[in-house]
Amino acid sequence: MKISVIIPTHNRAHILERALRSVQAQGLEPFEIIVVDDGSTDETPDLVGRLFPDIHYIWQENQGVSNARNRGIEASKGDWLAFLDSDDEWLPTKLAAQKLALEAKPAVKICHSEEIWIRNGRRVNAMKKHAKTGGYIFNQCLPLCVISPSSVIIHRTIFDQVGLFDETLPACEDYDLWLRICARHPVQFIETPQIIKYGGHEDQLSHRHWGMDRFRIRALEKIIQDPGISTKNRQAAIKTLVKKAGIFAQGAEKRGKGQQAAEYRQKQQDYLEQSLCTLPDSA
């Protein structure tokens, strides 16, 4: 198992070292570590060159996290790809635990794990809606993102089948990818936490964009139009889209965004009609 670790980063020199040290501390040494610097203007190039000279470092003009991850995938040489956001860290057993889990189920090509959450410096418990599991989890992926990029390891052939991260999505790009993968593949899950996930800082994407569900709705529209998914999964996706479009329209109305509200009310109606026209026994 050759594991390529891909770490996208942007102006996080103050915490990138923590992430990189957590990869170096793995009981199972990765095949390679790739840092894709998405246009940092801080001390990131100096930090990596000074403290981590053996790491494959790629600098590019700022193009977003999806582009950075895709650049890392394209540059990687391993057969397994593990991702780590630069504000998170791995526990030392992460890669070894996933290797054992995947060797026990060689037909499974994606594995994620439980995680420890730190918010504003304090450990917090995840809410029930964030509960993680394994197997065929497409339905669990519909309401919100239930796989953390920092916890996942994926076989390269998965990307050959479903494509890379969608660079047109400014956020929820991971939600979009998990829908495409989980519509087709089972997921291995490790119940013991293998990562520490940090949140609460201002540069998180969830703090930059109002109405994150609009990006999830775009992802749902894509998967609904995918000819490769089952009728059952398509019906479930349409049901979720109808619900999310209604919630988003309501939020837009409260914010005085009448045009957006009307647009999403129309989406809600269009997909509701589509769901009524879809025969449940046509799978």
Q: What is the per-residue pLDDT across 194-215, written as a single tens digit (0 to 9) for each?
A: 999 998 655 555 545 567 999 9
Predicted confidence at residue 86, as pLDDT, reads 96
Q: Which helix (H) or strand (E) holds 8?
A: strand 3-9
Rounded average pLDDT over 216-226: 96
Q: What is the per-residue pLDDT across 123-137, written as a single tens digit (0 to 9) for each?
A: 998 778 788 999 999
Round to whole Å and give the CA distance between 270 and 262. Answer: 12
Round to whole Å and give the CA distance between 36 and 131. Answer: 30
CA distances to 84, 115, 197, 230, 235 from 151, rounded to whole Å, are 7, 8, 9, 27, 29
Which band of pLDDT confidence, cut at 50, 70 and 90, is reported for residue 276?
Answer: confident
Q: Which of 1-5, 239-243, 273-277 has the lowest mean pLDDT?
A: 273-277
Which homologous superfamily does the CATH classification assign to the domain defined by 3-208? Spore Coat Polysaccharide Biosynthesis Protein SpsA; Chain A (3.90.550.10)
Cβ partners under 8 Å of residue 270, min gap 6: none
Q: Which helix (H) or strand (E) holds 235?
A: helix 231-254
Average pLDDT, the chain: 92
Q: Which of 54-63, 186-195, 236-245, 249-258 has the lowest mean pLDDT?
A: 249-258
Round to whole Å and give the CA distance between 93 and 43. Answer: 30
Please state, for a pLDDT cut of 90, what percent of the chain lies above it: 84
Q: Which helix (H) or strand (E) holds 30?
A: none
- Asked if 90 and 84 touch (Cβ cutoff 8 Å), the reply is yes
Domain ranges of the chain: 3-208, 213-277
Whole-prediction pTM: 0.91
